[in-house]
Chains A and B, each alone.
Chain A
Amino acid sequence: MNLPFAVTLGPGSSRADHTGAWRTERAVYVQRTAPCGNACPAGEDVRSWLYDAESGGAGYEAAWRRIMETNPFPAVCGRVCYHPCETACNRGHLDEAVGINSVERFLGDEALAQGWRVEATAAPTGRRVLVVGSGPAGLSAAYHLARRGHAVTVRESAPVAGGMMRYGIPRYRLPREVLDAEIRRLLALGIQLEVDTPVTDLDAVMEAEGWDAAFLAVGAQLGHRTYLPAASAARILDAVSLLHGLEEGERPLLGRRVAVYGGGNTAVDAARTARRLGASDAVVVYRRTRERMPAHAEEVADAEAEGVVFHWLSTIERVEPEGLVIERMELDEDGFPRLTGRTERLAADSVVLALGQDTDLSFLGEASALRVSDGTIDTDRAFATTRPGVFAGGDVVAGERSVTIAIGHGRRAAESIDDWLAGRPPAPEADVDLAPYEALNTWYFQDADRAHRERLELARRSSTFDEVVHGLDRETALYEARRCLSCGSCFSCDNCYAMCPDDAVIKLGPPGEYVIDLDYCKGCGLCVQECPAGAIVMVPEET
């Protein structure tokens, strides 16, 4: 067409006008750290594996493989982890945290059911590493070292591998076939396991056997003892020994009325175990309040449901043949418990002490170059001890203790050992740019109440060690995964592309890939505001 001058124009000719020149700020896609992954002691990239799982089907295996990059025990952790990820989860501000733990368990169980395996990621290096202890820290380190191509031997003093996962956590929380299966899969990487083989003199072993490096993960197997005035007839046990003995087939005589002294998870485990062993009364005596109890709230609730009674703000003054004398406590202005002088009696046939665990460091010997303090091995940020080539982690080092923390130690120590063997300096710690709840636009997420796991009926919980918490079915696991808000990470919702008034967002082929067309972006920030995930930020233009 011979178009009239000026009055009639060709289509899309405005693209000659680069309105990006108006801009004072530009939109930039970012990948921020999600609170869940940031809080995970094992270092799992939770958001990413939830993203994989959200697709269902083949996404489950992808999700599981992503977990396995950091944590070789998804099925275990899906049961016993106290999920700080959920505590940190931004969705908690909206309705209720995503049931990350239950999805992890689903994936872990799915992997076992499907027989998914992982392979080493590196060729054999010819380097030999000794791991002392087959608990979560030791096995985690062994796994990551083996995947990096190192020859790993794990020495365990007990007859079976697993450490506290086996000897500390009751079966009703962690069925042994699950634990066994995950350990078996891990060992299949070519890890040498030597059970019933305590290391009694580290120096001697290192010297005699020529290890290139060692990781010490002997745990904290000794129940902490405290002085209690007690009549000679009083039956006093410690929780660690109780649970350990049970695993070795012992049937401890606790009597009908059992008092447990302590406020940690082990105390609750001991009380719940007592119920299952036939105790009609299982009472936990704890000196502080429920809110200040270190035991996980979910465990406490389960225990209460099973008939365990809690005596808060109580301390055992002395143990008598017929029971305990308990002194009541109260909180002072600063919230610290203090004695009141008021006492009461509590009938009990036995008392189980659950006051913490100590480490047996005798194997280090006299001449060790390892520095220890307060009964734990000193390490640096890289889990290196003061002796070159020797690293330590798990309960044997100072700090909070849990299966997941130990797994995290094992992985980070393995990385350090790998660095040390290669003569690399440790990687610097990256700055964390956490995605805050305020950065999200939660309008866009579907309303979705959390799906909670079903529990075993109570009748069976007082008489058997059957697993209490059920797993999620496929549908529900998918549902729960999809409750993820993908904090700080694009998940291809297309809002930025769809809502740019200037048609200045280019959608590239693969999902999740967008580019701001700076020739036209006027810097209005609409895409930032409407990004559900908070994965776009405004950055001032340099002038």
Chain B
Amino acid sequence: MTTTPLRLYQVGTFAAGNRLLDPSERTVQSSADRASSITSGHRACRGCGEALAARVVMDAAMRATGGRLVTVNATGCLEVFSTPFPESAWQVPWLHSLFGNAAAVASGVAAAMRATGRDDVRVLAQAGDGGTVDIGLGCLSGMFERNDDVLFVCYDNQGYMNTGVQRSGATPAGASTANTRPVGSGIGNAFGTGKNLPRIAMAHEIPYVATATIADLHDLEAKVTSAMSRRGARYLHVLVPCPLGWGSDASDTVRVARLATQSGLFPVFEAEHGTVTQVTPIRRRVPVEEYLRLQTRFRHLFTEPGRPDVVAALQAQADRDIARYGLDPEEES
């Protein structure tokens, strides 16, 4: 007989909860007393990844701070769908100023808390990818550089969805958007553009940078918790599929995020002071095509005559990142 004790908990920590595990090993989201920081009645599209991510992130931060949390929100989908007069979906203190200044506003809030002796109140800034990598980058870089005590969370849905799905600096190559239509011999959004904000954040050597997706709530919450256990400037980049902008089914939002990670197109990792310290290995590697095909923004790559060259180039991107971050345990060994 085998002498090694076998430990199995059915869904382990893949699912949000697990009756077989101690409550402390379940997600905050699985708890009936979660804060539900952003509650029902908001006007996000069906299957919105950002709405889900925002609740997961904020609730985890609420848990981590014992409810001593305030948040600053950049202009964007999240802000618009959550606070149209006369109704707000937020149950946490929340401030919206402008599109490009969330990081600076949050810096101001943090400074105010410190100066008024309320250090226990922690500050979380949130923005979409536009408010992070494009219009908000200046303020964000300043916040990083000053090491202000703010966790900045980017909900990356890879485009300006609120304004009608235009490209942003975070839109992937090959994607069709309202201003990168694959007309003629075009492929959609061009290669060689775009910003990798996690790496830019790392270049500031701030205490903590992490990426995550809504496909792994344990990982996402753990990163929020880890971030909230530290002081100084912290950055969390969360991939949030957008059924509207990506042309994916509303029910596939989590699945698409999962395939983004399993294809290697979205590396999930943690970095401290500019150095990668942890990666989440790919569990069931899939070709990028499996991810791309679920989204109509990439449909032109597959309809006759198709663009196998573009798909191959995206696969090469994924392969490069898999190698760069060591995401494939089999490839490693």
The A contact surface, by secondary structure, is: loop
Q: Are B83 and A494 in contact (CB under 8 A)?
A: no
Query: What separation, in Å, do the CA atoms of A348 and B175 have in the docked complex?
Result: 76
Query: What separation, in Å, do the CA atoms of A500 and B85 have in the docked complex?
Result: 24
Query: What separation, in Å, do the CA atoms of A54 and B52 have in the docked complex?
Result: 30
CB-CB under 8 A from A446, the residues of chain B are 8-12, 14
Known contacts: A498-B16, A504-B40. The answer to whether A524 contacts B88 by CB under 8 A is: no
Known contacts: A497-B29, A502-B42. The answer to whether A526 contacts B254 by CB under 8 A is: yes
Q: Is B68's CB within 8 Å of the partner chain A?
A: no
Q: Is B73's CB within 8 Å of the partner chain A?
A: no
Q: From residue 35 to 74 of chain B, which have CB atoms closer than 8 A to chain A?
A: 36, 38-44, 46-49, 51-52, 55-56
Q: Are A525 and B88 in contact (CB under 8 A)?
A: no
CB-CB under 8 A from A526, the residues of chain B are 47, 52, 250-251, 253-254
Q: Is B204's CB within 8 Å of the partner chain A?
A: no
Query: What separation, in Å, do the CA atoms of A497 and B284 have in the docked complex?
Result: 25
Q: Is A13's CB within 8 Å of the partner chain B?
A: yes
Chain A residue with the shortest CB-CB distance to B54: A501
Chain B residue with the shortest CB-CB distance to A505: B40
CB-CB under 8 A from B30, the residues of chain A are 494, 497-498, 507
Min C-beta distance of A116 to chain B, whole Å: 23
Q: Is A16's CB within 8 Å of the partner chain B?
A: yes
Q: Are A530 and B90 in contact (CB under 8 A)?
A: no
Known contacts: A9-B83, A482-B8, A525-B47. The answer to whether A493 contacts B89 by CB under 8 A is: no
Q: Are B8 and A11 in contact (CB under 8 A)?
A: no
Chain A residue with the shortest CB-CB distance to B93: A11
Task: Please tell me which stretch of B19-27, B129-137, B194-202 contacts chain A, meaning at least 4 of its Cβ atoms lie within 8 angstroms of it.
Answer: B19-27
Q: Are A519 and B40 in contact (CB under 8 A)?
A: yes
Min C-beta distance of B140 to chain A, whole Å: 25
Give the residue of B2, B17, B55, B87 whose beta carbon is less than 8 angstroms from that of A9.
Answer: B87
Give the residue of B10, B44, B88 whose beta carbon is less than 8 angstroms from that of A54.
Answer: B10
Task: Please tell me which stretch of A210-218, A238-246, A473-481 contacts chain B, meaning at least 4 of its Cβ atoms lie within 8 angstroms of it.
Answer: A473-481
Q: Is A451's CB within 8 Å of the partner chain B?
A: yes
CB-CB under 8 A from B56, the residues of chain A are 498
Q: Which of A501, A503, A512 has the most CB of B within 10 A?
A: A501
Q: Is A443's CB within 8 Å of the partner chain B?
A: yes
Min C-beta distance of A86 to chain B, whole Å: 18
Query: What separation, in Å, do the CA atoms of A454 and B3 have in the docked complex?
Result: 13
CB-CB under 8 A from A445, the residues of chain B are 10-12, 14
Query: What separation, in Å, do the CA atoms of A448 and B83 have in the docked complex?
Result: 45
Q: Are B6 and A444 in contact (CB under 8 A)?
A: no
Task: Please tell me which stretch of A17-25, A283-291, A393-401, A428-436 contacts chain B, meaning at least 4 of its Cβ atoms lie within 8 angstroms of it.
Answer: A17-25
Q: From residue 253 to 288 of chain B, which have CB atoms closer than 8 A to chain A?
A: 253-255, 258, 284
Q: Is B229's CB within 8 Å of the partner chain A?
A: no
Query: What separation, in Å, do the CA atoms of A494 and B33 have in the docked complex?
Result: 13
Q: Mark B210-245, 1 if CB is under 8 A from A, else 0.
A: 000010010000000000000000000000000100
Chain A residue with the shortest CB-CB distance to B251: A525
Q: Are B40 and A507 in contact (CB under 8 A)?
A: no
Give the residue of A454, A494, A529 whose beta carbon is less than 8 angstroms from that of B1.
Answer: A454
Q: Are B44 and A18 in contact (CB under 8 A)?
A: no
Q: Are B8 and A14 in contact (CB under 8 A)?
A: no
Known contacts: A498-B16, A499-B52. The answer to whether A19 contacts B40 by CB under 8 A is: yes
CB-CB under 8 A from A355, the residues of chain B are none
Query: What separation, in Å, do the CA atoms of A186 and B89 have in the docked complex?
Result: 61
Q: Are A491 and B251 in contact (CB under 8 A)?
A: no
CB-CB under 8 A from A509, the residues of chain B are 32
Q: From residue 71 to 113 of chain B, which have CB atoms closer than 8 A to chain A?
A: 82-83, 85-92
Min C-beta distance of A143 to chain B, whole Å: 32
Chain B interface size, under 10 / 10 to 19 / 20 to 34 / 35 or more: 35 or more
Min C-beta distance of B295 to chain A, whole Å: 15
Q: Are B32 and A529 in contact (CB under 8 A)?
A: no
Q: Are B32 and A6 in contact (CB under 8 A)?
A: no
Q: Are A443 and B19 in contact (CB under 8 A)?
A: no
Q: Is A55's CB within 8 Å of the partner chain B?
A: yes
Chain A residue with the shortest CB-CB distance to B14: A444
Query: What separation, in Å, do the CA atoms of A495 and B13 have in the docked complex?
Result: 11
Chain B residue with the shortest CB-CB distance to A492: B19
Chain A residue with the shortest CB-CB distance to B53: A501
Known contacts: A493-B18, A497-B29, A503-B40. The answer to whether A11 contacts B46 by CB under 8 A is: no
Q: Is A85's CB within 8 Å of the partner chain B?
A: no
Q: Are B44 and A501 in contact (CB under 8 A)?
A: yes
Q: Mark A39-75, 1 if CB is under 8 A from B, else 0.
A: 0000000000000001100000000000000000000
CB-CB under 8 A from B42, the residues of chain A are 14, 17, 19, 502
Q: Are A498 and B29 in contact (CB under 8 A)?
A: yes
Q: Is A517's CB within 8 Å of the partner chain B?
A: yes
Give the residue of B46, B51, B83, B255 whose beta carbon is less than 8 angstroms from that of A22.
Answer: B46
Min C-beta distance of B98 to chain A, whole Å: 14
Min C-beta distance of A436 to chain B, whole Å: 17
Q: Are A494 and B17 in contact (CB under 8 A)?
A: yes
Q: Is A15's CB within 8 Å of the partner chain B?
A: yes
Query: What separation, in Å, do the CA atoms of A444 and B12 have in the docked complex?
Result: 8
CB-CB under 8 A from B49, the residues of chain A are 501
Q: Is B323's CB within 8 Å of the partner chain A?
A: no
Known contacts: A9-B83, A11-B88, A19-B43. The answer to whether A444 contacts B251 by CB under 8 A is: no
Min C-beta distance of A239 to chain B, whole Å: 33
Q: Are A501 and B16 in contact (CB under 8 A)?
A: no
Q: Are B88 and A501 in contact (CB under 8 A)?
A: no
Q: Is B313's CB within 8 Å of the partner chain A?
A: no
Query: What separation, in Å, do the CA atoms of A484 and B9 have in the docked complex?
Result: 10
CB-CB under 8 A from A525, the residues of chain B are 47, 249-251
Query: Can you list 9 contacts pairing A with B, beta carbon distance less than 8 Å?
Result: A6-B86, A454-B1, A476-B6, A482-B10, A493-B17, A499-B16, A524-B251, A528-B251, A529-B254
Given contacts A443-B14, A445-B10, 4 further A-B contacts (CB under 8 A): A9-B88, A14-B40, A22-B46, A499-B214
Q: State the B residues within 8 Å of A (CB).
A: 1-2, 5-12, 14-20, 26-27, 29-30, 32, 36, 38-44, 46-49, 51-52, 55-56, 82-83, 85-92, 214, 217, 243, 249-255, 258, 284
Q: State the A residues within 8 Å of B (CB).
A: 6, 9-19, 22, 54-55, 443-446, 448, 451, 454, 470, 473, 475-476, 478-479, 482-484, 486, 491-495, 497-504, 507, 509, 511-512, 517, 519-520, 522-526, 528-530, 532, 538
List the 4 closest A-B pairs by CB distance, nearest first: A494-B17, A525-B251, A498-B16, A14-B41
